[in-house]
Structure 1
Amino acid sequence: MGHKSFDLVRVGTDFRQLGRDIFGRAGYCHRGIQPLQQSQNSNHAIGSEEQLRITQFFISGDDSADVARNLAGTNQPDVGTVLTQENRQGSAARRALLRLPGIEKGQRAVDQQAQGGDDVSQMQKRPRVAIVYKSLPQYRRRFYELLKTQLELYGIEFVLIYGQPGASEASKRDSIHLPWAKRIENKIFRLGSRELYWQPCLRQLQGVDLVIVEQASKLMLNYVLMLQSLWGTRRLAFWGHGRNFQDHNASWLGEKVKAWMSRHVHWWFSYNDLSAEVVKELGFPAERITSVQNAIDTRQLVREKESWTMDRLASFKQSMGIASENIGLYTGGMYPEKRLPFLLKACERIREQIPDFQMIFIGAGVEDGVVKEAAARHDWIHYAGPKFEAEKVPYFLISKLFLMPGLVGLAILDTFALGVPLVTTQVRYHSPEIEYLRNHENGVMLEQADDVDAYAAKVVELMTDEQSLQKLQQGCLQASLTYTIEEMAERFAQGICRAVEAARDNRSAADGGEQIWQS
């Protein structure tokens, strides 16, 4: 693919510093640098924003000094040539350049700096963005780390605030700690069968330009932040599904309040395109929705998969007392929406038709006792307890199918990454990630949600039809290339940049003139 070269003229600052500011670990883009519409020293023109697509090379592998040298690879004192190549939209480097202001605004910043103007400190201020989440599950670790790194590239300070889970979520035993994040002690109140959370972090949110919270009616902090937003003292964004997809458990009043609040935030980070459509149906502007394509760290799973040899897997199976090739796997939380009693009945039907069938359960939750009792009765049912990240990989590698007849969420991404097709049913309360399933291409969804025999028959069919199974496995591996944690972090960071820039533009319009605000 050919390269295009555009010229950048420095306006009051060293061009090598530009490289550090755009790509440096803790730098930020100076407002005194501006890509010109027409270079003074060449015929190369920078046209629409779509032309500013910077190669990923500049942000992966090279340190900031090398990047600066690449950017400033010219002997001319005032002009540097930036080589770019056509790259997919969303490149972090491209977005960093798009944060630069108009040429008039950039020149005004330089003039004010030379005159010692009052706006210099504001121009140099780094924006602060906070995510407040009620707890920190292990599957979010890599996402937050990647997001923090991406935002540093744009000169945005990222603050992550989290607390401890409530009783039902704590039973999953999947919470972790991040040393660089801020941990608070949630106050959890019982209201009948429901839990209400107070997240005591208002002090930590002082000076934060954008606060992103989970869209949930049980989080009392959200109501305080919404009032601040309505008063004009807070920029608030929601991150979530758009509605409660498990509406059989939802509070009618809570959903009404949540829908109203969802229309009055500054920005929306929807889990995926399905959630984005839900948010648009609530009446929220499409241009202020970022679909983040919710994902987990599948690359780590693939790396771990590649480390397992056939001999090592054979030893692993032997340690579990399994000799069969016909193995089903369940991994995830264990609560009513997962339909574990249904699955156990289906397993008994499968065992009747495939005598050496084995079933492995991984996870924990309020209903794990049902699985433990079944494992105590049947030596072909194996309960391994909760396993996370690389720990669960060998269980996938010895299994043919992933059996989850109830609610499907992020677990579908495990099936893609490790090539173990999902078999589920068409229940109405799947999480938005079910959108990733392509029926009979990368998994199977049966319409008869309550037909145990039909579910068992489909599993038997796939386990005994090598050609059909291989087709699904190939579909899984193809889907794994699309839904990655890296893409999620990049989309989320892009949305934050747009939200922060929109907030700056709104403030400028409200003040009746342009403000120079450092992004």
Structure 2
Amino acid sequence: MFHRSVSLTGILEEAGIKKQKTSIKKVLFVTHVMPHYRVAFHELVRKELGSRGIIYDVVCGLATDEELKKGDIGSLDSMLTVPEFRVINSRGVLLYHPIYLRSFYYDLVIVTQENKYLLNYALQLSRPFRRGRLAFMGHGRNFQARNFDSIAERWKRFWATKVDWWFAYTEETRDHIRSLGFSDSRITVINNSVDLSKLRDQIAQITPERLELLRRELDIVGRNVGVFVGGLYPDKRLNFLVEAGRFIRTMIPDFELLVIGGGQDLQKLEQLAADLTWIRILGPRFGTGKVELMLLGQVFMMPGLVGLAILDAGATRLPIATTDFPWHSPEISYLKPGENGLLVEDWQNPVAYGQAVVDLLKDKNRLEAMANAAEAMSRRFSIEAMAQNFACGIFDVLKE
């Protein structure tokens, strides 16, 4: 009996994946789905890498019917979509992207760091046998986890350092990954962002006359308006927001609050504000409809979890007012307290938070300076800068 010797190259060729004898560098990015807000980022990265002769391929899984119903799934030219294998267990759904063999012909494979992505473990375990590098992109940990020593968080920490490079969302992510013993020289901070160009175009098209008409439609009589924009769920601390608003109203009689968004706590908020005519609960708004409401405000009030909303706020010249809530997303690092927004240390005290907002609204010079700094922050952490940071990190990996 004869036994055929099977090499990895032979397996790949049998799978229809031919090795190309070329000096062209190839990079593969793998993600679950392609949300609309990530399309511009990948287009910019592909353009930047292409200018250096580097091929940038993106692989996504197929969106579920539930994900499609949300209406936030985008598409990228030449994007490869593959059906994911799903394994349901007591902790949720595990996903596997069937591109393991294909990945061997890339000089760099970048995956998002998620415990549920089974492909990640296959790629990490095969690192000694790969010619290319493997990198993580993400937060580094679950910033909303109430127990940082949970099994899920310990599992994530265990695998976090078993890659060749890290593309960290923010400086907070860098600090966390570095604390695990990962080399700082192999961490690229990309500064997570979203495409604000469309929002800025919408701002430019909204006239003072339109805003004045909107004020009349909403019966807004005061010139001290707080704005909340986001999902309505427990981590947004809506009880706290209403209590702080009550205090502000006693100190500034014409204070009004616009709440824009939907979610599981919408009915709860409506009950909390049932007798408070100065709170306008406006539900979910999108596009120009959302932007023009934000332009009616002077301060962005979000005492709970802050994430990428800080960039939308800055683009509309709204300083963000938040607290030292322990479970912010890593984008909270964009906030410079006292410069482009407020961070109240006593995060469980709505009166302390309310007083900080009162002091800001009463000091128009400080408010204007903070609005300028908030807008500058949104331009500094742009999608263009994020793509440039990401591309520069890729260049660094490929140089090694």
Q: TM-score, normalised by structure 2?
A: 0.84
Deviation at 1:425, TM superposition (A): 0.4
Q: Which amino acid aligns with 2:177?
A: V
Counterpart for residue 73 of structure 2: 176
| Deviation for aligned residue 1:445 | 0.3
Is residue 134 of structure 2 the alignment partner of residue 236 of structure 1? yes
Q: Secondary structure at the match of 1:123?
A: coil
Q: Report if aligned partners of 1:346, 1:456 keep a CA contact under 8 Å in 2.
A: yes
Contact between 1:135 and 1:175, CA under 8 Å: does it hold in 2?
no
1:412-470 deviation line (CA, Å, top 9, x unaligned): 12222221011100122222221121111110000100001111222222223322212
Q: Does 1:302 align with 2:200?
A: yes
Aligned residues of 1:424 and 1:445 also touching (Cα < 8 A): yes
The residue number in structure 1 matching 2:9 is none
Residue in structure 1 matching 2:330, options 432, 446, 461: 432
1:123 aligns with 2:22: yes
CA distance in 2, matches of 1:174, 1:137: 9
Structure 1 residues not aligned, in runs of 5+: 1-119, 503-519
**Residue 144 (structure 1) aligns with:** 42
1:43-442 pair list within 5 angstroms:
122-124=21-23, 126-163=24-61, 173=70, 175-180=72-77, 181-186=79-84, 191-192=89-90, 194-202=91-99, 205-206=102-103, 207-232=105-130, 235-248=133-146, 252-374=150-272, 378-388=276-286, 390-442=288-340
Residues 486-506 of structure 1: per-residue CA shift (max 9 Å, x gap): 11101101111222333xxxx
Contact persistence 2:256–2:279 (CA under 8 A)? yes
**Contact 1:401/1:422 (8 A) holds in 2:** yes
For 2:246 and 2:117, the matched residues in 1 are separated by: 41
CA RMSD of aligned residues (A): 3.0
Q: 1:262 Cα deviation (Å)?
A: 1.8
Match runs of 1:409-488 below 5 Å: 409-488=307-386
Residues in 2 aligned to 1:349 and 1:224: alpha-carbon distance in whole angstroms: 55
**Secondary structure of the residue that 2:163 maps to in structure 1?**
coil
Give 1:84's aligned residue: none
* Secondary structure at the counterpart of residue 248 of structure 1: coil
Could you tell me the percent identity over the aligned residues? 35
In structure 2, the residue corresponding to 1:247 is in which secondary structure? Answer: coil
Secondary structure of the residue aligned to 2:21 is helix
Given that 1:171 and 1:365 are in contact with CA atoms closer than 8 Å, whether structure 2 keeps it comes out as: no
Kindly provide the amino acid, as one letter, of the partner of residue 470 in structure 1.
E
Judging changes above 3 Å, is the alpha-carbon distance between structure 1 residues 469 and 271 closer, same or farther for their aligned structure 2 residues?
A: same
Query: Quick one: distance in 1 between partners of 2:63 and 2:355?
Result: 39
Equivalent pairs counted in the alignment come to 380
Alignment CA distance shift 1:333-1:233 (3 Å): farther
- Deviation per residue, 1:172-219 (Å, 9 max, x gap): 946222152334455666655x43330434269443432211222232
Pick the structure with greater CA Rg: 1
Alpha carbons of structure 1 residues 258 and 342: separation in structure 2 relative to 1, 3 Å: same
Find the counterpart in structure 2 of residue 499 from structure 1.
Answer: 397
| Structure 2: runs of 5 or more not aligned | 1-18
> 2-side partners of 1:383 and 1:201: how far apart?
45
